[in-house]
Structure 1
Amino acid sequence: MIRIDAQPDIEALSKGLRLLGDKQLPFALALTATKLAQRVKAGELDVMRQRLDRPTPTTMNSLYVKVAKKNNPEARAFFKDAWTSGVPADTYLQQAVKGGRRPHKRFEKALIAKGLMKSSQYAIPSPSAANQFGNVSRGVVLKILSALGAAETSSGFQANASGSKRSKRKGNQQRYFAGVVDGESGIWERKKTAFGDGVKPVFIFSDREPNYRTIIPFYKIADNIVKANYMAEFTSALDFALATAKA
């Protein structure tokens, strides 16, 4: 999260007080902070488009601006930290922003808890199972967890596959399995082909801990944008406050 406090230096503050007085100045400061936060958002999105590998629409729509108020001239630019479902961008973009080691995802924690994957391992998506964004879709992940008996139970609803007719119709329990195929450990999908039955990898279990370099220097980008545009936005806000001030 980036906080943008629009407190100007002494010279700019004196100018604002001379032109606006102490009643309209807070409005100008709040407007300045909001405009800067909007510039930060646009700049960050430009970098995300350039540097992220096939970012999803959800990722690109995850950056928000909280506008400043007259009584609190601080605006914020931040990644949304909650979704109605799934993992929020504030969580999964941390590696891109800060770099370093990747913690286990919720999916991996469920596999570990079920004893299907070692606590030292990580589930790496197979290219053949990945979607256009390079990920295994959430829907497929839920089907896998259900098939392996590792799905969560919430609100009295059991998501794991069972022996019921409804569950058998879905076929997930027969479709996915965890095991070793040709010396490779992972999650596999059974497939029927013209040449007979076969399997393809969905996730491969890796003993190597994923380590990420910083792709989006979020705070540096924001700082540079604020420094480069502060006076222009403050001057523009003063002009707007003067034009709209009540006599």
Structure 2
Amino acid sequence: MFTLSVKADIRKLAKALDDVARKQLPFATAQAINATAEKVRLAQRDNMREVLDEPTPFTLNSMAIKRATKSKPVALVYVKPVAAAYLLPYEIGGKNKLNSKALLKPINAKVNQYGNLPRNLVKRLASKPNTFIGKVQTKNGLIDGVWQRTKKTRGKRGGLKLMVEFTDAHEATQRLDYKGVGKRVVAATFRVELERAVAKALATSR
């Protein structure tokens, strides 16, 4: 987690305000912080789309906000815990493996529109009488995964078809740079949002 302070912008604007406008500043500050936080959230989502390979809606929607209030002018833009666990290597480095489980690589199994295996597919495949989970020696070496026994057809003997391969995790090379994205958005946005919020607060208070 990292912190971005906007106190300098608030103090600078406060000096230029009269007493009436200065009374509206705490409320306007919370509004401006929340508006900026929303822009940071959207920018982080856009960045995920650029850095990651077709991120799912679950991943994109993992960006959330804890909003600022007049009494506590601090907003938190964060990644929800489940997604944070598998996105962390794309921020600080490390292996892209979740909860120490092998990565699942679809071979002959149907995937969704994002290229991912549907939830619980491995369990469903393994429950079928013509499939099993295990290691099989092939011409490419020993492969661990979900295998399907294929039927013998005319002119073709039965065999095994690899549905899903269990592969070892590898180093995540992409970097999301949450801090960099956040700093750029705050620098470009907050002062404008603060001035807009003060003007709106003054307009509605009269």
TM-score, L = length of structure 1: 0.69
**Equivalent residues in 2 for 1:167-178, closer than 5 Å:** 171-172=127-128, 175-178=131-134
- CA distance in 2 between counterparts of 1:55 and 1:123 reads 16
Gaps of 5+ in 2: none
Partners of 1:73 and 1:228 in 2: how far apart?
A: 19
> Is the contact made by 2:65 and 2:76 (CA closer than 8 Å) also made in structure 1?
yes
SS at match of 1:101: coil
Q: Which one scores higher on RCO, CA 8 angstroms, separation ≥ 6?
A: 2
- Give the drift of 1:51: 2.2
Aligned counterparts of 1:190 and 1:214: Cα–Cα separation in 2: 34
Which residue matches 1:11? 12
Matching residue of 1:230: 190
- Give the superposition deviation at 1:107: 6.7
Query: Are 2:125 and 1:125 equivalent residues in the alignment?
Result: no
Give the distance between the partners of 2:54 and 2:122, measured in 1 at CA.
19
Q: 1:241 to 1:6 in 2, by over 3 A?
A: farther
1:143-222 correspondence runs (5 A): 143=124, 147=126, 171-172=127-128, 175-182=131-138, 183-193=141-151, 194=153, 195=156, 196-206=158-168, 209-222=169-182
SS at match of 1:55: coil
Q: CA deviation at 1:4?
A: 5.3
> Which is worse superposed, 234-243 or 9-18?
9-18
Q: Which runs of 4+ in 1 moved over 3 A?
A: 1-6, 16-19, 126-130, 141-144, 171-174
SS of structure 1 residue aligned to 2:117: coil
Asked whether the equivalents of residues 68 and 75 of structure 1 are also in contact (C-alpha less than 8 Å), the reply is: yes
For residue 134 of structure 1, give the secondary structure of its aligned residue in structure 2. Answer: coil
By how many angstroms is 1:197 displaced? 4.0
- Partner residue of 1:101? 95
How many angstroms does 1:135 deviate by?
A: 2.9
Structure 2 contact 146–162 (Cα < 8 Å) conserved: yes
Query: For residue 39 of structure 1, what is the aligned residue in structure 2?
Result: 39
**More deviation, 184-193/12-21:** 12-21
When normalised by structure 2's length, the TM-score is 0.81
Q: Letter of the aligned partner of 1:231 in structure 2? A: R
- Give 5+ residue unaligned stretches, structure 1: 82-87, 109-121, 148-170
Report the aligned-residue RMSD.
2.6
Percentage of pairs with the same residue:
26
Return the match for 1:135 from 92, 113, 116: 116
The count of residues paired between Structure 1 and Structure 2 equals 198
